């Protein structure tokens, strides 16, 4: 399973990448620190899953989420954010997010879902208990 990490915090990106090194059948194919860079890189990287922060410069996650889901072969999108309000969760669901996690309380849970998805890959229709929609 190919993963792409989009987060403006280099510390968070590094933490995610480090945790994913131990996930069998998962490889990080790209990273981005802002929304525009994310949208430039995703078509070439062709990830199966994008881990997306909502608060990023140049274009935030809510702005690029529909663009990602509008690609001809859209990847799964896991929102991992500190803005885990009901309003944000509902907005992400409407825009096509497949998963939504609170970065401060559910970080490890998000990694567990990635492990399950990677284990089931290439069955991209796997939906965990935290799937939205």
Give the angle 122-30-86 at the CA atoms, nearest 5°: 75
The answer to whether the beta carbons of residues 50 and 35 sit under 8 Å apart is: no
Pick one of 3.30.390.50, 3.40.50.2300, 3.40.50.1580, 3.30.465.10 as the CATH number of 2-120.
3.40.50.2300
Q: Where are the beta strands (DSSP E) in 65-131?
A: 76-81, 99-102
> In the chain, how long is the greatest CA-to-CA distance?
34
pLDDT tens figures, 16-56: 999 999 898 999 999 999 999 999 999 999 999 999 999 99
| pLDDT tens profile 85-123 | 999 999 999 999 999 999 999 999 999 999 999 998 864
Q: What is the mean pLDDT of residues 66-71?
A: 96
pTM of the model: 0.89
Are 51 and 28 contacting, i.e. CB atoms less than 8 angstroms apart?
A: no
In this prediction, residue 122 carries a pLDDT of: 62
**Pair of tokens at residue 110:** 């998000």
Contacts of 66 (CB under 8 A, 6+ apart): 95, 96
H or E element at residue 93: helix 86-95
């Amino acid at each position: 399973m190919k993963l792409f990490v989009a987060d403006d915090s280099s510390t968070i990106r590094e933490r995610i990448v480090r945790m994913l090194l131990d996930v069998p059948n998962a490889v990080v194919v790209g990273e981005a620190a802002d929304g525009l860079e994310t949208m430039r890189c995703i078509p070439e990287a062709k990830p199966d899953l994008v881990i997306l922060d909502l608060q990023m410069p140049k274009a935030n996650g809510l702005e690029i989420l529909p663009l990602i889901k509008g690609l001809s072969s859209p990847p799964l999108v896991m929102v991992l954010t500190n803005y885990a309000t009901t309003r944000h969760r509902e907005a992400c669901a409407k825009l096509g997010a497949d998963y939504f996690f609170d970065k401060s309380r559910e970080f490890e849970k998000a990694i567990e879902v990635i492990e399950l998805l990677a284990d089931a890959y290439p069955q991209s229709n796997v939906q965990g208990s935290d799937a939205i929609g």
